[in-house]
Structure 1
């Protein structure tokens, strides 16, 4: 599932506009819909395009190489497909089975849920909801309110919620210096009623229990996804840096860049060897061993460090012109630094 050079050029032609406007253009979004990139982890019977994890991570890397925000949003949007087995067939069809279906949300537990007849009354504010400007469904975690005293010693009970766009309000507070077009704003719920059937638990499989992808543990699933984005962002930075240096005839720094590209290629190969091995193990055994989970986690963090290292090592050698925010190389550098701040990519 590749992109033609014409498609790549069209998306990149819109990168500056998307950054300035803080969101995807309709044309860029349409590429995602047409190629079913938000549905890479949605079961085929829900109008998805179920894709083996190693193949999907390579797609995320390619999307991020094209444009940082584009790649981040494809990855986050596709990741929502991981929730399919925790929903009933009926709810899953309502959430996923349409061409523009995509989930935005947060894993943070920064909301509250009060039990009432038939569901919950929900209040909360959740940060960093990438894709919030076009999401068709929102998910969030909330702490179940209890009548007992707060110091009762009981662990809080978490409720995972599925909400419609009309149940949340988007606060446009994403003001970072990179990945500006991801629309990773906060969402706010105020006394929203969420029916019981619009909640789920990661410990209760309700459908699609035979799909191999859904047996891949969530933490390494998320880490490999973000590592793929980080590597794609580094690819974009190295590509932009090479073009920038060639235009200026800077042979000494070009030599440094070639060395960096070679080292980075080795790291990417190492990452994919482990990822492919983990997928093979999952297919053979139906689960990953703890040793493999740890190995995957280490490889993801190592790949992210190598990715951000490309920028940290080369950017100081590029001169003042590379500091101009309207240049491709500056945008690629800022996107790379921003993505690699994610907690799952740091040791």
Structure 2
């Protein structure tokens, strides 16, 4: 799948407006529906694309290169397809068949579920639910109420209809502003047994290799691909600033232009090497999974490490260049500023933050 030049132009023309309203515009949402971007991991029988993970990651990268929020929403919106194999086929049919089906939600177990006849009563509040204004279904994680002495309560996932969910418009981040990553809340909503699942169960209903790819690494690779795309856009905008200011900078300060040029070129080399390492590790892990049906702990750890290293490299590239781009770069309506903010916001996700030192090599 490749997003056309026409799509690139359409999205970027509306990037500033999307930031201002804190959501994608109807025109851009239609583009996402037309490309089936929210159903990249949904089986074709349900109207999805069922892309192999390496192919989908390259879509995430391109979408994020076009615009950070556009790429993030593509990643998050399509990610709900990973749950298909754990959900009853009849429920999947209801949930995913519509062309405009979009899953939003949260993986944090910040809700509670009380067992009752035929299902559960779910209550709670969950943060950072990207795409919440147009979601057709929400998935949330809850701790199951039980013995108060149990230090390790069961956690299950629940499928909620949007008409029972309150969206609390509290997304006020300095980047990825158009993702509408608001909080949601419910209070004693009944969820029948058939609309609950455990994402860590083995594949049950659908058997594409994707559903055997470990969920942690599935998420980490998705976020890392977004970071690559946003950083590529940032460096493209930095090169444009170089080109536009070449004459002025060479006249006013002879050392300025070549110095900044070296900074940008060094960042490009760093990102290129990190990107190659990332896709090599992902492609090899996917090939291993297809051949052997699972991934060893060692391979999983290698994939996690390369995702951490990739996000750190992308962040380091932007930080090494931004201070030298001049005063215009600090203006929020400048594309380079938006990409810088979006990248920092994406790299803040806990799943791709390494809580250990990683040396970024230029």
TM range (shorter): over 0.9
- Alignment of 1:117 with 2:117, yes or no, is yes
CA deviation profile, 1:89-147 (whole Å, cap 9, x unmatched)? 1001111011110100001111111111111111100000001010000000111122x
Q: 1:207 aligns with which of 199, 205, 211?
A: 205
Q: What is the aligned residue count?
A: 343
- 2:20 is aligned to 20
Contact 2:203 2:211 in 1 (8 A): no
- 2:63 is aligned to 63
Q: 1:179 aligns with which of 157, 161, 176?
A: 176
By how many angstroms is 1:319 displaced? 1.8
- Range with bigger deviation, 78-87 or 259-268: 259-268
Provide the rounded CA distance (Å) in 1 between the counterparts of 2:88 and 2:111.
24
By how many angstroms is 1:204 displaced? 5.4
By how many angstroms is 1:28 displaced? 0.8
Contact 2:347 2:353 in 1 (8 A): yes
SS class of match (2:107) = strand
Provide the rounded CA distance (Å) in 2 between the counterparts of 1:56 and 1:183.
22
Provide the rounded CA distance (Å) in 1 between the counterparts of 2:111 and 2:271.
41
Q: TM-score, normalised by structure 1?
A: 0.97
By how many angstroms is 1:173 displaced? 0.3
CA deviation profile, 1:158-182 (whole Å, cap 9, x unmatched)? 1210000011100000000000000
- Alignment of 1:233 with 2:194, yes or no, is no
Q: 1:311 aligns with which of 318, 322, 329?
A: 318
| Gap regions ≥5 residues in structure 1 | none
- Alignment of 1:344 with 2:351, yes or no, is yes
- Alignment of 1:42 with 2:48, yes or no, is no
Q: 1:223 aligns with which of 220, 223, 231?
A: 220
Contact 1:169 1:189 in 2 (8 A): yes
Contact 1:274 1:296 in 2 (8 A): yes
By how many angstroms is 1:260 displaced? 1.4
Q: TM-score, normalised by structure 2?
A: 0.93
SS class of match (1:139) = strand
CA deviation profile, 1:5-56 (whole Å, cap 9, x unmatched)? 2220111000000000000011111111111111111111111110011111
- Range with bigger deviation, 66-75 or 191-200: 191-200
**What is the Cα-based RMSD across aligned positions, in Å?**
1.1
Contact 1:122 1:190 in 2 (8 A): yes
| Gap regions ≥5 residues in structure 2 | 250-256, 355-362
Contact 1:87 1:205 in 2 (8 A): no
Distance 1:155 1:259, change over 3 A: closer
